Structure formats: structure tokens, C-alpha cells
């Protein structure tokens, strides 16, 4: 687990290190020249001025250790350790709503909104998927089953963000039911903010659910059909246990372990999808932040978000293993 985190971090820093150094160097140069221009220091000629500026730049570069390359052991360990303890530094351009440039503050401000949107949608999708999946599994081969399978294949081929654009076109442009941008207009301090946020959340929520629930039902169906063929189900049927009870409490429960795994993994990896979906709707979460950070090349934020999303993913994978063991007694927690 720690190895994976470390690998991601090293990879991210290795990829972004040179660019970050270049940006820092340019910022220092700009800052020094600006300072000299505004100060009262008089120079005899242009050469002396240039010398002074160069001296100042070198001084600053030495102070923050930019004279060594990013992969120098000292700097590298420093960066890795800092990120590992969530000291993510300051952003270059973007700030939080309260005006803080601290990357941790910015991310913590956006995180609840991403979690709100994607946890809610995953929950809805899971409930629909479980019941629809079990329903069609019991009628394998029927019209419903075939309809669901083809819907799953179709919806699985659609990019969610594209469906999002279509939804905006239909529900914001043609019928003015939902707002086109998902960023609420009321300030966060207003008591109506929560309500406004929910209203703005509806369109992205509907989009995600619409695209995802077909594939979900299909996955559930796959596992439940397998369980329904088992002997003990036939025994229950023979014993006269009601069909619905067999389906929803016995079959579904036994199909739970693999389903739980898939749910957890999809929830954890939804951050990748969050980038595009939030960018389409302008939902003010981590994905939008990532999208903006790409636009501004705000590297501390990119590193911070990549790190945090990896942490979330890995923790989820770990928890899933534990939950799996709980549901499936055959697996022992080592």
C-alpha cells in the first residue's frame, strides 16, 4: 500500500519536477526585476544593474535550494516527505473561496462537494442496480433481460461527460428546468445555500445515474444468475420459501462480496470521471479544481490532487478487502 503511494508520488514529482523548477525560477526573476524597478537604488549603467539583478536572483535561488536539480537527494526526499504528511505547499495562481493559497485548504474546501455528488450518485446507482439486476436475473432470457443487457452495452459506450453536454442542451437550453452551470449563485454563508447546491446538483446527478445504472444492473445480474443456479437455491425453492425472499435475501446476499468490491472500486476511481463530469457542469469540486489547475499549470495543486486521489483509492482498496472478508467467510483476513 505504502509502496503504491510512494510510486505514484515519485512518478508525479519526477514528471512535474522540471516544469515546477522552471516556473519557480521565472517567478523569482520576475519578482527581483520588479523589486529593482520599484526601488530607489540608482545604478551607474545597465551592466551594473544587470549584475545586481543576477546577484539577487542567485541569492534567492540558493535560499530555496533551486541551485540543485529537483532529483538531488536532499530536495527530492524533502518534497516527498512534505507531500506525504500533507504539507502540500502554496498554489501558484488558484485560491480557495476564503482567499487562502494553501493547497491543503483549497483541496479540503472542494473535497466535500465531490464526495457529496459521487457518493450520492453511487448510492442511487447501487440501489437501482441491485434491484434491477436481481429482477432481470430471475427472468434470465426474458424481454426485460435482453432489454437491460442492450441498454447496459449502449450506455456503457457513452462518455458520461458527453451525455452531460446533451443533458445541458435538453434541460437547460430547450426546456429551462435546470441551470446550465452547476455552480450555485448564492454565497456559501446564506442559509439557502444548501438547497441551492442540491438543486444545482440534480442535473449532474441524473446524468451520472443514467449512464451508470445499466452496466450496474448487468454486473449484478451476472453474479446473481450464477448464484441462482446453485443447489441450495433449488433446495429453498423446494422447501417453499417465497420466490422474492429467495431472490432478494438469499441470492443477493450471497452475490454481495464481488458486488461490494466492484462498488467500492468504482467509487474510488470515480475521481478520474469527476474531472470531466465536473468540468462539463462546472460543479465546484475536486475535478473542476483539477481542470482549472491544468489550465493554469498550477503544479502544487496538480501534485496535491493526484496524491490525495491515490490515497483515497488505496484506502478504499484496503477497506474493500476487509469488507470482502466479512461477507465471505471463506476468505481469512491475514
Partner 1 sequence: MTVAAEVISRSEIIKEFRRSKSGLAGVVILFGLIMVTIYAVAAIPLESFGQWNNPNFWIDLPKAAAPAWTNLLGSKVPEHIVLTAKDAAVSSSVDGGIRTVTHSYTVNFNYDSYPSDFMLLYSARYGGTQPILQIDVLRPDGNEFQIYFASLPSSQQGSNEFSARVFSTDRQIANNLRNYAGIFEYPQDTSRPHVMIFSDSQQNRVLKGTYVIRETFYFFDPGDSAVNSGVILGGKVYGLMGTDELRRDLAVGILWGAPVALFIGLTVSIAGIIIGLVYGVVAGYKGKRTDEGLMRINDVFYSLPTLPLLVILSVTIGRSIFLITGFLVIFGWVGMAKISRSLALQLKNMQYVEAAKLMGQSDTKIIFKHIIPQLIPLTFASIAIAVPGAILGEAALSFLGLGDPSIPTWGQILHDANSAGAAPRGLWWWIVPPGLMIAITGLAFVLIGNALDAIVNPRSRKV
Q: Give the whole-angstrom CA distance, residue 290 versus residue 153.
A: 30
Report the Cα 96 to chain-centroid distance in Å.
18
Nearer to partner 1, 213 or 271 (CB): 271
CB of 191 to partner 1, least distance (A): 29
Nearer to partner 1, 53 or 314 (CB): 314
Which residue shows C-alpha cell 516556473? Answer: 23
CB of 23 to partner 1, least distance (A): 12
Q: How many CB atoms lie within 10 A of CB 304?
A: 27
CB of 255 to partner 1, least distance (A): 13
Angular region, 89: left φ>0, alpha ψ -120 to 50, beta rest = left
Q: How many CB atoms lie within 10 A of CB 244?
A: 10
Nearer to partner 1, 32 or 228 (CB): 228
Nearer to partner 1, 186 or 269 (CB): 269
Q: What would the grid cell of residue 312 be?
A: 483515497
CB distance 248 to 257 below 8 Å: no
CB of 302 to partner 1, least distance (A): 6
CB distance 180 to 168 below 8 Å: yes
Nearer to partner 1, 32 or 214 (CB): 214
Contact residues for partner 1 (CB under 8 A)?
3-4, 7-8, 11-12, 15-16, 18-19, 150, 153-154, 156-159, 161-163, 165-166, 168-169, 172-174, 180, 222, 225-226, 269, 271-273, 275-276, 279-280, 290-291, 294-295, 297, 302, 305-306, 309-310, 313-314, 317
CB of 240 to partner 1, least distance (A): 27
Nearer to partner 1, 108 or 297 (CB): 297
Bridge partners (DSSP) of residue 299 are none
CB of 309 to partner 1, least distance (A): 5
CB of 68 to partner 1, least distance (A): 20
CB of 298 to partner 1, least distance (A): 11
Nearer to partner 1, 55 or 156 (CB): 156
User: Phi and psi (nearest 5°) for 331?
Assistant: -90, 130
CB distance 70 to 80 below 8 Å: no
Nearer to partner 1, 175 or 329 (CB): 175
Q: State the sign of the Cα–Cα–Cα–Cα dihedral 67, 296, 271, 198.
A: positive
Q: What would the grid cell of residue 306 be?
A: 493526484
Crossing angle of helices 193-228/160-167, nearest 10°? 130
DSSP three-state, residue 102: strand
Q: Give the whole-angstrom CA distance, residue 66 versus residue 60.
A: 8
Amino acid at each position: 500500500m505504502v509502496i503504491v503511494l510512494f510510486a505514484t508520488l515519485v512518478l508525479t514529482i519526477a514528471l512535474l519536477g522540471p516544469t515546477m523548477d522552471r516556473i519557480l525560477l521565472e517567478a523569482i526573476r520576475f519578482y527581483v526585476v520588479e523589486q529593482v524597478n520599484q526601488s530607489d537604488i540608482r545604478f551607474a549603467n545597465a551592466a551594473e544593474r544587470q549584475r545586481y539583478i543576477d546577484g539577487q536572483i542567485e541569492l534567492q535561488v540558493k535560499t530555496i535550494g533551486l541551485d540543485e536539480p529537483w532529483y538531488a537527494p536532499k530536495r527530492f526526499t524533502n518534497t516527498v516527505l512534505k507531500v506525504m504528511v500533507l504539507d502540500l505547499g502554496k498554489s501558484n495562481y488558484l485560491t480557495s473561496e476564503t482567499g487562502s493559497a494553501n493547497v491543503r485548504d483549497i483541496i479540503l474546501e472542494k473535497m466535500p462537494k465531490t464526495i457529496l455528488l459521487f457518493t450520492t450518485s453511487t448510492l442511487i446507482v447501487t440501489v437501482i442496480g441491485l434491484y434491477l439486476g436481481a429482477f432481470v436475473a430471475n427472468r434470465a432470457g426474458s424481454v426485460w433481460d435482453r432489454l437491460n443487457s442492450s441498454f447496459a452495452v449502449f450506455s456503457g459506450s457513452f462518455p458520461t461527460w458527453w451525455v452531460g453536454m446533451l443533458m445541458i442542451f435538453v434541460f437547460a437550453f430547450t426546456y429551462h428546468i435546470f441551470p446550465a452551470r452547476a455552480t450555485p449563485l448564492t454565497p456559501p454563508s446564506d442559509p439557502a445555500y444548501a438547497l441551492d447546491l442540491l438543486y444545482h446538483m440534480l442535473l449532474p446527478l441524473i446524468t451520472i445515474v443514467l449512464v451508470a445504472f445499466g452496466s450496474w444492473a448487468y454486473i449484478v445480474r451476472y453474479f446473481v444468475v450464477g448464484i441462482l443456479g446453485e443447489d441450495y437455491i433449488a433446495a429453498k425453492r423446494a422447501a417453499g420459501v417465497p420466490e422474492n425472499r429467495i431472490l432478494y435475501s438469499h441470492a443477493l446476499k450471497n452475490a454481495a462480496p464481488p458486488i461490494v468490491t466492484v462498488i467500492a472500486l468504482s467509487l474510488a476511481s470515480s475521481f478520474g470521471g469527476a474531472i470531466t463530469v465536473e468540468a462539463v457542469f462546472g460543479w465546484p469540486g475536486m475535478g473542476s479544481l483539477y481542470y482549472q489547475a491544468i489550465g493554469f499549470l498550477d503544479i502544487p495543486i496538480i501534485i496535491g490532487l493526484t496524491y490525495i486521489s491515490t490515497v483515497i483509492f488505496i484506502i478504499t482498496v484496503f477497506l474493500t478487502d476487509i469488507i470482502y472478508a466479512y461477507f465471505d467467510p471463506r476468505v481469512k483476513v491475514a
